[in-house]
Chain A
Amino acid sequence: MSKFIVFKSLDDMPDIAVSKARMDWNKTGSWRSSTPRREDKTPPCNFNCPAGEDIRGYLDLLKHGKIKEAFELILQTNPMPLVCGRVCYHPCQSQCNRENFDAAIDIRLMEKFMGEWGLEDYTPPGLPSPGSKKAAVIGAGPSGLSAAYYLRREGVNVTLFDENEHPGGILYYGIPSYRLPNDLLKPELDRILQGIAFRSRKRFGRDFGIGELEKYDAVFLGTGAHKSKVMRINGEDLPGVKSGLDFLKKVNSGEKVFLDGKDVIVIGGGNTACDVARTAYRLGGNVSMMYRRTVAEMPAFAEEIEQLKSEPIKLEFLVAPSRIEKTGDGKLKNLYIRMKLGEPDESGRSRPVPVPGSEFEVMADIVFTAIGEDPDLSFFDSAGKSSGDFDFASVDKRLRDKLFVGGDILPNPRTVPHAVGSGRLAAEKILAFFDGEKIEQPKSIAVVAGPDDINLRYFVKVNLDKRRKNLYGGDGVIGEAQAIEEANRCFSCGVCYSCNNCYNFCPDMAVIKSSNGYQINLDYCKGCGICANECPCGSLRMDEAG
């Protein structure tokens, strides 16, 4: 640092005018009337990911060709990118800030690419040897797998119980193979299960009980929602009337089911109903789907509905079953009544009300019901509530204090990423519990970066046709080069991506690159505002208060 030089006499002065020192004694920061502040915001993709993935973060690594690092960043919050790349409904992507500029980043495809890369090219680092703490995880669906995985990574001794032969829960037994083939699922599950003791065909409440859980320091319960809701109509116990979910489980277990030329009715409008209808069609059935509201109220994912519509499945809206009868020739006579939409119910959707005198008849060989599933908590004597928040008070004292729950048991939206996220959160709670702490669910105070935070001058629109060919030309299978190209389109909404603009454009050298990223040297910053204005992603902001 130079000091201000004052010549005391003529002798002090040099013979010619020559500088003796620098100017850094001149703290030009005093000129400032507004101040640049670093204010990283939450990218909307990250904000909307139920599993809590740092999407922007892994795209940034992918941009720079750091695929392994990108994959490991995903694994920090989601152990199953391949599964999610295939079946997650991607709320991240529908909120992508790039959507209105040219096209959203195809995050789903990126995730699928990463998942596939992980199967082929990734060797997980060795696990810590299991410590003294023991945890039991009941249910090997996505929530249980996620809880088990994050506990095992931290050195907890984990035993995972499931009543089925294969792990995966709905992933294995529910979601049909044309959406998620089990031979792709298996290797991803194998990676997750490393170091975890998996006990198959062990049903809690039948093969073991609360007594057996005493030797565990914590228990995670992720048994999902498998009890099909009843319709409460006459004839629903007839032999030809079956649970849609059980049908899917049968097909996915490899049992041969023949529906050739059979008339099949599927009742419901959710994901299960869609999968049942599409599976029945693939097995040769003439399928009709009956839903009591309209397509706009269908709880199934939009994508799923699109696919459904593209298949020769007959869709009947605004109809509700009122009775099923067996006819002499072994067929099922179904009585329906037409509905119209009334006032909204507690879910916010319009309540269907019957139209008097509109009954009609449809004949079928088989009827699949898929009007929703409830958690089956009959293993607790006091039979916990089947809807609403999990009722810890109803659980046996011996278990209550060390019990954690996740997945479809909770009143969350029932999706794979929600299950994964709740499983990981439960693992974090369990680890804190082992340390004698308690994690409260953090209140969301995120400032989400919107489209206005992006300086679009720094981004070039892509040629959409070229992109389409490049990304989707090979049936949705992409290579490294294409993945990197797509990742390169990411705006990095609200988070500094070291573009250097603030550093390059500051007239006063007041932006310093340090190991903590880009920092403002307020001794010299004159507050011109260039840095914040030229930050492409809205990570800097001018604070007018100075």
Chain B
Amino acid sequence: MIEEKGIFSGGEFCGHASCPGCGEKIILRHILDVLGRKTIIVCPAGCAAVTDGIFPHSISPVPFMHTPFDAVASCAAGVRAGLEMSGRSEVTVMVWAGDGATFDIGMGALSAIAERNENILYICYDNEAYMNTGIQRSSATPFGSWTTTTPRGRLKSEPKKDINFILASHKIPYIATASPAFIDDLREKVNKAKEITGLRFLHVLSPCPPGWKSDPKDSITLARLAVECNVFPLFEIENGERIRLSYRSQSLPVTEYLDMQGRFRYLSEEETETIQSRTDEYYKTLNSLHESEQPLRMTMRKE
């Protein structure tokens, strides 16, 4: 009746060391399923690097190259150059990096490959903190979140870094956000990105039960609510100019999302309201950019 298809069969992806309910592994299996075998993964320090297997074992069905935290983008550029030199331009070079490597430690190198528009598919699984080292805040951690470095009483007071618009200002051909709860949308975006040449950036929300202090069974529900509450809207930016919402959310109150996670347990009512109003505003802006169909133009200083 139903056929097993894709590149995984016979337990190829089984036995990894991710925690129960890990979002990262759900996302990765679908990405690899879409990209197929002609792919090289370049992966910096992070959850993905420690959970794919114990040396000399790995769940990865394709070459999986480990790199230093800050150097993933540069290493990927090197792999790309090597492939081009040996005439294997059909191989996809995919970066698989967490938010720490992307938003913080590897930001410089990422900006560099973006500026050079290297032919790389950069995918960030964003679990919104340094999780495998013990839940330290990153610049992707949302406002009001508890982490071990933003404990109760000193919850994170800065908003999450808006990585997509930073990359948009590099005018790269394709940027998209995605959520594992919207698996068809995620797969479509990977497929679309695969066909584009140049730097493509996918930003995928990756629920993390131990870090978010949520029930493992709720990982997908949270990934869904993040979108439905507009905390993590699904959109695409083409050439750094044209913004399209990929999904009309139900605009549910943010509390539906926040209340299911222990990391938001210490929010005051006021802080919750701040999150709601910022979320509303951000979604409104995205929506008007979507509807205006006007290219997003930075105001350039006149020479």
Contact = CB atoms under 8 A, between A and B. Distances in A.
B15 A529 contact: no
Contacts of A411: none
Given A28-B14, A509-B8, A513-B3, A530 B216 contact: yes
B57 A18 contact: no
Residue from B23, B58, B224 with most neighbouring chain A CB atoms (10 Å):
B58
B197 interface: no
A507 B25 contact: yes
Given A517-B1, A527-B20, A22 B220 contact: no
A528 B221 CA distance: 13
A517 B26 CA distance: 21
B221 A534 contact: yes
Contact of A530 (B1, B4, B21, B30): B21
B100 interface: no
A214 interface: no
A529 B57 contact: no
A194 B184 CA distance: 49
A459 B25 CA distance: 26
B53 interface: yes
Contact of A508 (B3, B16, B58): B16
Given A19-B60, A22-B58, A23-B57, A507 B22 contact: yes
Given A504-B30, A505-B26, A517-B1, A26 B15 contact: yes
Nearest to B23: A507
For chain B, the bracket of interface size reads 35 or more
B23 A2 contact: no
A459 to B, nearest CB: 12
Contacts of A517: 1-2
Contacts of B12: 22, 24, 509
Contacts of A22: 11-12, 15, 53, 57-59
A534 B57 contact: no
A536 to B, nearest CB: 12
A96 B30 CA distance: 35
Interface in B123-141: none
B219 interface: yes
A25 interface: yes
Given A23-B15, A25-B15, A509-B8, A529 B216 contact: yes
A515 B21 CA distance: 26
A234 interface: no
A521 interface: yes
B185 interface: no
Interface in A108-166: none
A43 B58 CA distance: 44
A24 B1 contact: no
Nearest to A526: B20
A457 B223 CA distance: 12
A446 interface: no
A533 to B, nearest CB: 4
Contacts of A513: 2-4
B203 to A, nearest CB: 19
B21 A507 contact: yes
A27 B11 CA distance: 11
Contacts of B59: 22-23
Contact of A19 (B14, B17, B23, B58): B58
Q: Which secondary structure characterizes the binding site on chain A?
A: loop
A528 B216 contact: yes
A7 B55 CA distance: 11
B180 interface: yes
Most buried by A among B23, B180, B217: B217
Nearest to B13: A509
| Interface-central residue, B8, B16, B17, by most chain A CB under 10 Å | B16
B56 A5 contact: yes
Contact of B64 (A19, A521, A524): A19
Interface residues of A, number: 46
A338 B8 CA distance: 79
Contacts of B20: 31, 507, 526-529
A431 to B, nearest CB: 29
Contacts of B55: 17, 19
Contact of A528 (B2, B13, B58, B217): B217
Contacts of B224: 457
Residue of A25, A457, A523 with most chain B CB atoms under a 10 A cut-off: A457
A28 B215 contact: no
Contact of A24 (B14, B19, B217): B14
B39 interface: no
A381 to B, nearest CB: 57
B11 A1 contact: yes
B189 to A, nearest CB: 15
A528 B219 contact: yes
A402 B215 CA distance: 61
A105 to B, nearest CB: 23
A510 interface: yes
Given A505-B26, A508-B14, A521-B14, A20 B56 contact: yes
B236 to A, nearest CB: 22
A12 to B, nearest CB: 10
A523 B1 contact: no
Given A23-B59, A504-B30, A509 B11 contact: yes
A532 interface: yes
A14 interface: yes
Interface in A487-526: 498, 504-510, 512-515, 517-518, 521, 523-524, 526
B14 A23 contact: yes
B183 interface: yes
B56 A18 contact: yes
Contacts of B3: 513
Contacts of A524: 11, 14-15
B218 to A, nearest CB: 7
Given A24-B12, A527-B20, A533 B220 contact: yes
B11 A17 contact: no
B290 interface: no
A87 interface: no
Interface string B23-56: 1111001100000000000000000000011111
Given A498-B2, A507-B21, A508-B16, A21 B219 contact: no
A4 interface: yes
B276 interface: no
A403 interface: no
Given A22-B59, A507-B25, A526-B21, 17 more contacts: A19-B55, A22-B11, A23-B14, A23-B15, A23-B54, A25-B57, A27-B15, A457-B224, A504-B30, A517-B2, A524-B11, A526-B20, A527-B20, A529-B215, A530-B21, A530-B217, A530-B219
Interface of A: 1-2, 4-5, 7, 14, 17-28, 31, 457, 498, 504-510, 512-515, 517-518, 521, 523-524, 526-530, 532-534, 542
23 contacts: A17-B66, A19-B55, A19-B58, A19-B64, A22-B58, A23-B14, A23-B17, A23-B59, A26-B16, A26-B17, A27-B15, A28-B15, A505-B180, A507-B18, A507-B24, A508-B18, A514-B2, A515-B2, A523-B11, A524-B11, A524-B15, A528-B21, A529-B216
